[in-house]
Each structure stands twice: as structure tokens, then as C-alpha cells.
Amino acid sequence: SPSPDLHAVVREIAEEMRARPDRGEVATYIPELARVDANAFGLVVIDADGTVAAGGDADVAFSIQSISKVFTLTLALGMVGDRLWRRVGREPSGSPFNSIVQLERERGIPRNPFINAGAIAVTDVILSGHQPREALGEILRFMQFLAEDPTIAIDEAVAASELRTGFRNVALANYMKSFGVLDNPVDFTLGVYFHHCAIAMTCRQLARAGRFLAHSGRTPSTGHSVVSAERARRINAVMLTCGHYDGSGEFAYRVGLPGKSGVGGGILAVAPGRASIAVWSPGLDASGNSHLGRIALEALTRRLGWSIFGV
């Protein structure tokens, strides 16, 4: 049942976060992210009844970046099922999101689908048998369908900047290609990857898109069955163990929910059976995860008793 004071808790947390002086550092690797207002903060919680509690900049679009990796994983599993795990592992990396070192030891197989190398391998699977434009359209339409919002779009300026500066991702892709882990031309796969990272969404849209993960694969308000309960549970497990790169242990320790972060400062978190949660604060910590986003989620789960590990 919905917590009676969910709206109050969300509003309180948004106010508390806005008042804090510690905001982390906004990503600066592309001008579009460097320009974002470090004082922005948004939080949206959608519970099992469809109640939407929103605070702060809930309707300001931001670059979802690596949060898109949850949805590309979902799509790729839908296309090839568990065969996907031949291409990508599901162990935490303990390394930064763009690290290359483990690829050498593991014959080009990335540790998990939520670091850059793993997400590039997943994108390559989605691309197979399609033109890049079709594959990208499929990803975007999936986001629009889940969020029930056809206005969700790619920020083309962000995509262009990613392409222009993404040398590390080019290296990761070529390195995997040398082991035969990618099937498509590297520039096609990277083009789709950079564009899905450049999808812009609001906290409200993102929380809507995440509902199926909180409710055994189904979106309660529409009745749409997106994935099986087993698949939703497994995606949540990978989010818990790998969703915050080398900060995944700390996120589980402090927040206690499956979550996926992006370098744009967003986090999608899942309270199984309870709620889908999106938070956005552009300042990052040393692992590239939203600093206040994590602190806000920690406050939320503590106040509502929502950690999966107990109250």
C-alpha cells in the first residue's frame, strides 16, 4: 500500500538536497554536459498504485547517458535471450566505467552490460540484422513505449559531441572487435551506442520507463507485460551488483536498491514490488555517479524503509 506521506517525503528530500553546498562535479568531457546547472535537482517516485510523487526539477530533461544501458540490455535479452551472456558477463567490475584492463584478461568479453565495453557489446547484438538507423529507432521507440511518451528524443548535439570525443569508447570497441566479440562494423555499433547515450529524459519520464522492473516485468497502470518476472528479477540483480561501476558496493550499502547511474547525473532505482524512482543531480562523485542523487536515495529508502536488505 502507498506510504501515506510519500509526497511529503519526496518534497522534503528535494528541499534538503537543494540546500546542500556539496554538489559534486559536473561532467566536463563534452560541452553540453559541462554547461548543465549544478544546482538542478529532481526526484520522482511512482508507486505500485501509480501514485506519482515529484519534487524539484522533475520535468527538466537531462542526458540519460549510461542509464540507457538498462533498456538496451532489456531489448537485447528480448532478441537473443540468455545467449547474450556468451558476449558479456554479469560480474561487478570494480573498475571505472570506461576501463579497458579487464578486457585483455577475459578475451574481449566485458565483465557486465553496464560498463561501457559491455554496453557496446549489447548494442552490437541489437544492431545485428538492422541498419543503424533502425536499431536506434527501436531503442528510442522502446523508451517512448515504456514511458508512454512519444516526445522522448535524442539530443543530437550531445550525440555529435560523444562521437567527436569518444576515443576511449572507440578503443574499447576495436579491442573487443579484435577478439571477435563484435559482429558489426565498429563505427556502426558506436554510432548507435553514442546516440542511445544521448537520449534526453525527465525524471518523470524515466521513473515511468522503469516501472516494469519494480513490478515483476509488468507496467501496472497499462497492464503491459514487458518481460517475464524472472527476467525483471535478473536485470535488477545486475543493476544492484554492477549499476554504479566501482561504486556499486557503496550504493548497495547506503541505498540498498538496484540502481543504474549515468554521467549526466541521473539514477534510475527500483524498489521491487514498491516503486520506480528517478533522481537527477548533475554533480558527480569520484566514480562518476550522481553525488546528491545517491544521498537523496539513501534518505528516501531510510525514511520509507525500502532497502531490499531490511528496514
Annotated binding site for substrate: 66, 116, 162, 169, 193, 245, 263
Report CA torsion sign: 141, 145, 151, 156. negative
Q: Which of 108, 3, 113 is nearest to 48 (CA)?
A: 3
Q: What nine digits make up the cell of 43?
A: 526526484
Write out the binding residues for ligand GLN, residues 20-79 only, by CB under 6 A: 65-66
State which residue, 97 or 142, has the beta carbon closest to ligand GLN. Answer: 97
- Least Å from the CB of residue 66 to ligand GLN: 3
- Comparing CB distances to ligand GLN, the nearer of 142 and 193 is 193
Q: Taking Cα atoms as reference points, which of 192, 190, 71 lies closest to residue 130?
A: 192
Residue 240 beta carbon to ligand GLN: minimum distance, rounded to whole angstroms: 17
Among 97, 212, 251, 280, binds ligand GLN (CB under 6 A): 97
**Which residues, numbered 261-280, are part of the site for ligand GLN (CB under 6 A)?**
262-263
Is 186 considered catalytic here? no
Q: Known binding site: residues?
A: 66, 116, 162, 169, 193, 245, 263
- 116 makes contact with ligand GLN (CB under 6 A): yes
Confirm whether 177 is a catalytic residue.
no
Nearest distance in Å: CB 173, ligand GLN: 11
Quote the least distance from Cβ 204 to ligand GLN, whole Å.
Answer: 20
Is 193 a catalytic site residue?
yes
Residue 287 annotated to the active site: no
Taking the mean position of all CA atoms in its chain, how far away is CA 215?
A: 17
Residue tagged active-site, from 193, 216, 238, 270 = 193
> Which residue reads 548533475 in cell numbers?
282
Contact 226, 219 (CB under 8 A): yes
Nearest-CA neighbor of 139 among 212, 225, 229, 79?
79
What is the closest distance, in whole angstroms, from the C-beta atom of residue 247 to ligand GLN in the complex? 11
Contacts of 301 (CB under 8 A, 6+ apart): 255, 256, 257, 271, 307
Cβ atoms of 101 and 171 within 8 Å: the answer is no
E strands, the chain, are 25-26, 42-47, 52-56, 62-63, 153-154, 199-201, 218-219, 224-225, 259-261, 266-271, 275-280, 283-284
Q: Which is nearer to ligand GLN, 3 or 65 (CB)?
A: 65
CB of 284 to ligand GLN, least distance (A): 9
* Total binding residues toward ligand GLN, as defined by CB under 6 A: 11
Among candidate residues 216, 245, 270, 290, the one labeled active-site is 245
Q: Is residue 255 flagged as an active site residue?
A: no
Segment 175 to 234, residues that bind ligand GLN, using CB under 6 A: 197
Q: Does 301 bind ligand GLN (CB under 6 A)?
A: no
Which residues lie closer than 8 Å to 221 by C-beta, 6 or more apart? Answer: 50, 211
Instruction: Candidates 72, 93, 112, 169: give the one binding ligand GLN (CB under 6 A).
Output: 169
Annotated catalytic residue: which of 69, 181, 186, 248? 69
In angstroms, the CA 79 to CA 68 distance is: 17
**Site membership for ligand GLN, residue 98 (CB under 6 A):** yes
Between helix 68-80 and helix 132-147 the angle, nearest 10°, is 110
Contact 275, 198 (CB under 8 A): no
Tell me how far apart the alpha carbons of residues 180 and 157 are, in angstroms, rounded to a whole number. 31
Binder among 32, 162, 246, 285 for ligand GLN (CB under 6 A): 162
| Binding footprint of ligand GLN on the chain (CB under 6 A) | 65-66, 97-98, 116, 162, 169, 197, 262-263, 288
- Positions marked active-site: 66, 69, 193, 245, 263
